[in-house]
Chain A
Amino acid sequence: MKAAKTIERREFLKVSIAASGGLLIGFHLPGMATLASAQHSTTAFMPNAFVRIGADEKITVIVNHSEMGQGVYTSLPMLLADELDADWSRVGFESAPVDPKYNHPAFGIQMTGGSSSVWSGLQQFRQAGAAARAMLVAAAAQQWNVDPSTCRTQSGTVINAGNRKLTYGQLASAAAKLTPPEHVQLKDPKDFKLIGKPLKRLDTPEKLNGQAVFGIDVKLPGMLTAVVARPPIFGAKMKSFDDTRARSTPGVRKIVAVPSGVAVIADTFWQAKVARDVLRIDWDEGGMADFDTSRMMQDFRERAKTPGTSVRKDGDFDAALSSAAKKVEAVYEVPYLSHLMMEPLNCVVDLRPDSCELWTGTQFQTIDRANAAKIAGLPAEKVQIHTTFLGGGFGRRANPASDFVIEAMHIAKAAGAPIKVMWTREDDMNGGWYRPAFLHAIEGGVDASGNASCWRSRLVGQSIMAGTPFAAMIKGKAYDPSSVEGVDDLPYAIPNITVESHQAEIGVPVQWWRSVGHSHTAFAVECFVDELAALAQKDPYQFRRQLLKEKPRHLGVLDLAAQKAGWDKPLPKGMGRGIAVHFAFESYLAHVAEVSVEDSKVRVHRMVCAVDCGEYVNPNIIKAQLESGAIFGASAALYQELTFEKGRLQQTNFHTFPVMRINECPEIDSYIVESKEKAGGIGEPGVPCAAPAIANAIFAATGKRIRRLPIRMSEAV
Chain B
Amino acid sequence: MNVQTWTYILVGITFSLYIGIAIWSRASSTKDFYVAGGGVSPLANGMATAADWMSAASFISMSGIIAFAGYDGSVYLMGWTGGYVLLALLLAPYLRKFGKFTVPDFIGDRYYSKTARIVAVFCALIVSFTYVAGQMRGVGVVFSRFLEVDINTGVIIGMIIVLFYAVLGGMKGITYTQVAQYCVLIFAFMVPAIFISIQMTGNPIPQLGMGSTLNDGSGTYLLDKLNGLSTELGFSEYTDGSKKMIDVFAITLALMVGTAGLPHVIVRFFTVKRVKDARKSAGLALLLIAILYTTAPAVAVFSKTNLINTVSNQPYAHMPKWFKNWENTGLLTFTDINNDGKIQFLADKGKNELIVDNDIMVLANPEIANLPAWVIALVAAGGLAAALSTAAGLLLVISSSVSHDLIKKVFRPKISEKGELWAARISATFAVVIAGYFGVNPPGFVAAVVALAFGMAAASFFPAILLGIFYKKMNKEGAITGMVVGISLMLFYILKFKFGVFDGGKEAVEGLKASWWFGISPEGFGTMAMIVNFIVAIAVNKLTPEPPEEVQEIVEHIRIPSGAEEPSIH
A binds B: no
